[in-house]
Chains A and B, each alone.
Chain A
Amino acid sequence: MTSVLLLFAPVAAALLIPLLANRVRGIHTGWFVLAVPVLLFIYYLGFLPQVKNGGVHIGELSWIPSYGISLTSYIDGLSLLFSLLITGIGALVVLYSIFYLDKTKERLGNFYVYLLMFMTAMLGVVQSDNMIALYGFWELTSISSFLLIGYWYTRDRSRFGALKSMMITVFGGLMMLGGFVLLYLMGGTFSVRELISMALELAEHSLFTWALVLILLGAFTKSAQFPFYIWLPDAMEAPTPVSAYLHSATMVKAGLYLVARFTPIFAASEVWVWLVTSIGVLTLFWGSFFAVKQTDLKGILAFSTVSQLGLIMSMLGAAAAAFHVEGAAETMFKYAGFAAIFHLVNHAAFKGSLFMIAGIVDHETGTRDIRKLGGLMALMPVTFTIALIGSLSMAGLPPFGGFLSKELFLTGMLSLGELDLFAPASWGTVLLIAAWIASVFTFIYSFYFVFRTFTGKHKPDLLPKSAHEAPAGMLVSPAVLGMIVVAIFFVPNLIGDWIVKPAVAAVQPFMYGSPSDVDVHVAAWHGHITPELMMTIGIVIAGLALFSLLPKWQGLYRVFPEHLTLNKLYDSTMVFAESGMNRLSRSYMDGLIRSYLIYMFLGIFIIGLGSLIAKDALVISFEGTAPIGPVEVGLLLVLVAATATTLVARKRLTAIISLGAVGYTVALLFVVFKAPDLALTQLVIETVSVALFLLAFYHLPKMSRHDEKRKFRIGNAIIAASVGLLMSLLAMSSVSQRALPSISEFYKETVYSEAGGGNIVNVILVDYRGFDTFFEIAVLSIAAIGIIAMIRLRLTRKGDGHEKQ
């Protein structure tokens, strides 16, 4: 319960921020904010001993009990790892932002409110056991990240990036919700834990693959996997602390979290293994390849993040593949899950610090364009040192954490090569080669990032500001992260035992009963030459060679045509969605009542005839019909003649008079069919309405008054004929299949005895069903008052301002 409430601590603190930001102007608001992630970090550290031994903590708060929806805080190895990342890096980012954002020029209140909102959302995502709550927090991360990306909302690029990331991640979020609902339909519960316990039964279900694909769509969009990665480079318009926090360490890992969390459920499916691994490797390759093309520091880092996320994703796929391997815990397959989680920690550390370095460079030189930078090593030695640590770790070199995770990754990829799960057995080898090439490119862009910025010739005339070392406060956070990167290399098993193993046990419960079963020992040097080490040496040699020749082949990227890119695809989709849909709706909403009537009549015809045929209701029988006398025939002939005259009349007056003839003939029909009340009323009403028609005819404007024969339109004729046909068929079918006898016998019997009257029609009108009559006279009153209002109240016509709307 406490742990659930603590999820909302950042948002609760955010409520106070506007007060502080406006009242206490002397102190940077960030200092107050800093306390929140620090305290939460300490709180979550307290769970470490419990979780290390395989324990879990469950807090629950009922939300909508009737639907089984609750807010939960489920802390096991995996969610604890993420919670520590979120709060720990959150604290460092807040500290960094204090020095990065100017307290007089920026709207700090907004920034920290959004950031704290995001923190709550992220904690909620990783700790929710209930899928609906998970989805709620998930969308909250999308919304708060939208706000953060668009923080400088006066810039066009910011708004564009914010919208793009919103569209893509919310699309994925909705797909994911669909997956969750399907899981609920299969398992009958929203709880992930309970679903895991029935994973094998779920795998038999026909909806299983659908749920799988939908949930993966959510994970892929959020974690910027191919082809959904395109929002991430555009999200670099956000302030750098935001990029460091959201787009390297936390939000983009929400998708990884989702994949890791649902691996125990979906690992039984080969589709899952396939999709996660292949998309991961493809993203890894694609991202690392295009990172070298970028000229913006943050652009390089964005593509690098995409690529590293692909790496982790592919390892998670391999971890799921272990499910299909006999005795996986004893083979090489045990490394994949460990590699994924280990690299996740590593990546959060070094990528966070690299983003902060990019921010520092931007802050101190005024540009992030790598073509203008160079030779900053002597001017910014501390920054350079930290950047070097981060980059070499990213490239996978010793003595940094990245080296270890790269080795584990290669082991994992090697294990995939041995897997016979993939249809062509050589596919695993293809993945391995792709991963190796991607690692070479990773090496190149890591060097490209650090050496193009800090070595070479200093170009002071190109820089908006004269470069100098950053203030100490700004360097603290990246320095701390850099130290962690180094520390991971020297004591990998400390972090492995306390954090990674419990998480691995949570991801692969089908292999390990408790964290202590995870039999992986990380060492920088295993004492003998392993294939992984050979591959790493190959990466270094190839990478160094290609990097030194970079100017010669970087032009290769320009060969790739711009209009074939995924960004172009996104843009044209958006253009289509906007103008295309607009054109579509304008094509049928043309403002002509004629067209709308055609749609309606066509609809009536299609639906009416369709249901007549589909329901087998088209029955025409003349059984029990009355005989037709000469009077009826004569009247009908007159009626048809008058109707035809109305249709073909050249002059309006002729049409009005023949319409009157139709009305009087109908009155005569009423007489013939023995309905004196109807006949009386019809006669009088017809007279009045013909008089009103004549009035309207007389007042037609002179200018356009020409007695012209209406144009004959074949389409109209067909529609009119079909509606007439439909109505005739309907009438005949309903008469032919009368199911129940009429109620009129009752009226006949009781009209005198019960109602004290003789005229059944009138007694029905005023007594049996007087209710109808009452509201009909109300209708008449409204019509009269409406006419008075329309004719007498002409306020709008006098003032010309109202008319031109």
Chain B
Amino acid sequence: MKSSDVILQTATKVVFFLIFLFAIHIFFAGHYTPGGGFVGGLLTASAIVLLLLAFDLKTVSRALPFNYTIMIAIGLLLALGTASASILFDVPFFTHAYDYFDLPLFGETSLHSAMLFDLGVYLVVVGATMNIILTIGSDD
């Protein structure tokens, strides 16, 4: 623990959630406005990197106990699963489906299977970036 980094750590505690929320926003907004899984994933990763800068590796891995390698695999599976789900409905590989639903609390919302694919992209990007940074960072 770096005891002299009080300001940085305090600021980080606030800023982390701001960045994270912005990343989530960018991710969900991707289908209609600039953004998407790739930028969203990178931003999420940079939020975690900020945590890493303010705290140390151990603390962060305790706070966010993710195995980023498995995250990559989940992301890939999700992307591939979304793409191949269309085969079950007798349409070509990679055909997306979407419709508008009236959800409680959200009102009328469009749900698009491309979002699941984008989620796969998001997870892979977060996993890969974190893997690279953590591996290089923890190397001595």
> Which of A685, A758, A774, A792 is B80 in contact with, Cβ under 8 Å?
A774
The answer on a CB contact under 8 Å between A777 and B46 is no
> Which of A759, A771, A783, A792 is B132 in contact with, Cβ under 8 Å?
A783
Interface centre among B39, B98, B121 (most CB of A within 10 A): B39
Bound-state CA distance A134–B19 (Å) is: 80
Output the nearest chain B residue to A774 by Cβ-Cβ distance: B79
The answer on a CB contact under 8 Å between B35 and A677 is yes
Q: Given A756-B110, A787-B135, A788-B135, do A766 and B34 touch, yes or no (CB 8 Å)?
A: no
Number of interface residues of B (CB under 8 A): 42
Bound-state CA distance A695–B135 (Å) is: 12
The answer on a CB contact under 8 Å between A778 and B76 is yes
* Distance from B47 Cβ to chain A, minimum over Cβ atoms (Å): 12
Interface band, chain A: 35 or more
The answer on a CB contact under 8 Å between B136 and A695 is yes
The reply to whether the CB of B51 lies closer than 8 angstroms to some CB of chain A is no
* Distance from A716 Cβ to chain B, minimum over Cβ atoms (Å): 31
Q: Given A684-B39, A784-B72, A788-B69, do A767 and B132 touch, yes or no (CB 8 Å)?
A: no
> Which of A766, A771, A774 is B114 in contact with, Cβ under 8 Å?
A766
The DSSP consensus for interface residues of chain B is helix
The answer on a CB contact under 8 Å between A756 and B98 is yes
Interface centre among A695, A773, A792 (most CB of B within 10 A): A773
Residues from chain A with Cβ under 8 Å of B112 in the complex: 756-757
* Distance from B51 Cβ to chain A, minimum over Cβ atoms (Å): 15
The reply to whether the CB of B9 lies closer than 8 angstroms to some CB of chain A is no
The answer on a CB contact under 8 Å between B32 and A787 is no
Residues from chain A with Cβ under 8 Å of B35 in the complex: 677, 680, 759, 762
Residues from chain B with Cβ under 8 Å of A676 in the complex: 34
The answer on a CB contact under 8 Å between B36 and A784 is no
The reply to whether the CB of A188 lies closer than 8 angstroms to some CB of chain B is no
The answer on a CB contact under 8 Å between B34 and A677 is yes
> Which of B33, B98, B125, B135 is A777 in contact with, Cβ under 8 Å?
B125
Q: Given A756-B110, A757-B114, A767-B114, do A784 and B128 touch, yes or no (CB 8 Å)?
A: yes
The reply to whether the CB of A681 lies closer than 8 angstroms to some CB of chain B is yes
- CB within 8 Å of B: which A717-763 residues: 755-759, 761-763
- CB within 8 Å of A: which B110-140 residues: 110, 112, 114, 117-118, 120-121, 124-125, 127-129, 131-132, 135-136, 139
Output the nearest chain B residue to A780 by Cβ-Cβ distance: B128
The reply to whether the CB of B24 lies closer than 8 angstroms to some CB of chain A is no
The reply to whether the CB of B42 lies closer than 8 angstroms to some CB of chain A is yes
> Which of A677, A681, A781 is B72 in contact with, Cβ under 8 Å?
A781
The answer on a CB contact under 8 Å between A780 and B114 is no
What residues of chain A have their CB less than 8 Å away from a CB belonging to chain B? 676-677, 680-681, 684-685, 687-688, 692, 695, 755-759, 761-763, 765-767, 770-771, 773-774, 777-778, 780-781, 783-785, 787-788, 791-792
Known: A759-B36, A765-B38. 15 other contacts (CB 8 A): A677-B35, A680-B26, A685-B42, A756-B112, A757-B31, A757-B32, A767-B114, A770-B83, A770-B94, A777-B124, A781-B75, A784-B127, A785-B131, A787-B132, A788-B135
What residues of chain B have their CB less than 8 Å away from a CB belonging to chain A? 26, 30-39, 42-43, 46, 69, 72-73, 75-76, 79-80, 83, 94, 96, 98, 110, 112, 114, 117-118, 120-121, 124-125, 127-129, 131-132, 135-136, 139
For the complex of A and B, 7 pairs with smallest distance between CB atoms: A758-B32, A676-B34, A784-B128, A756-B98, A777-B124, A784-B131, A684-B42
